[in-house]
Structure 1
Amino acid sequence: MEEVRLFNNLSERERYENMAELYAIIVTLEHLERSYVRDWVSQTEYTPACSKLIAQYKAVLNLVSRDVPDVNRFMTQYKLSCPAAWKRLQTGVPLTVEHATLDSHEPSKSAKYVAESVQNFITLMDSLKLNRHAVDEIHPILSDLMQSLNNVSTLPAGFEGKAKLLEWLIKLNQMRASDELDADQVRQLLFDLENAHNAFYRFLSQSA
């Protein structure tokens, strides 16, 4: 049989290797998501592993942007059935950040998590008011805020502020790290943050 060469030079070889890396990350993340849901890996193992895969995905995406303008189409083309991984990549944060989990419910640390949540609210709002509007400046703080809120064991699962914050996390994840929010987006994010912050304080007052 005649050998089929995928590339003719180093540049073409690098392109295929980058696409292979993207393929591997998606498959690995799918297995990780399913393993966590089935309780085959712990939260302690899952969260850093998922965060690392998401970061690697974003890095390799920059390398294949010319050859893979649409990741969903790439998955279809190479017959990748990975719905859990695709959902996680669209969200841009581990499942443990998106939703509260039983592992994070430690009543003895409740005061610590409440303080972290308040601090993250203030830090993010101050950053926006200081004209720090780039995605790579906002996303980490917002992610930390979601995580700290999830760690407050007494906070209701349907807490009104978290849904809006999650929407912003997903929106930021779909932007490039160097992108900046425009004036209208900054104003809306501040509005949503202030509403969530006030709702959190109301919850704390009612729980006292």
Structure 2
Amino acid sequence: MQRNEAGESTGTAPAVSLRLRLLAVALLAAHLLVVGWLTLRPLDVPWAAAANLSPLEGIRAAFAAGPLEGARRLGEGLALLAPLGVLLPLISGRLAPSALSAWSSLVRTTAAGALVSASIVMFQTAVPGQVVDVDSVLLNTVGVVLAHLAVVPALRARARVRRSRAAYQGATPKITRVGLGPWTDVLSAVPREY
């Protein structure tokens, strides 16, 4: 990647400003603290349900309890880690414009979201009152993917537009034509008649 005189990169990938990256790191830390508090605090319950280790069984049970309960369960599962789908690409510092880079960004973000969700489920095994549910891993990962697909392409387009506007330096300046100098007669091969 080449750099111009100001030290800015001139490659095709729009860079994310340092201020935005630091803000994304702070938001990610705050979000993970809230997620940890919501999912890993001990609950004082008279009884706890058995762990759900079969995929989609908890979602079916929630919809069997009623459509509102099923929608609430889906919404909570999708929304819990969804901000990771936006914050992780911002923290990486580059919003890749090419299709291959965009797919690799989606794969990396999805893998990180699944890893965070699986870690939370593993930590929940030691917390009293918290029930392990494999459906939460699935829903959290899908939420990360949906947030990434909904927001990151728009951020990429916005960064490209901003970068192209910054690169545009205005119209070419117009100058008046300058006449020929006094020595052009001497240097030209055709003699001039007076």
Same fold (TM over 0.5): no
Q: TM-score, normalised by structure 1?
A: 0.27
* Greater relative contact order, per chain length (Cα 8 Å cut-off, separation 6+): 2
Higher alpha-carbon Rg: 2
Q: TM-score, normalised by structure 2?
A: 0.29
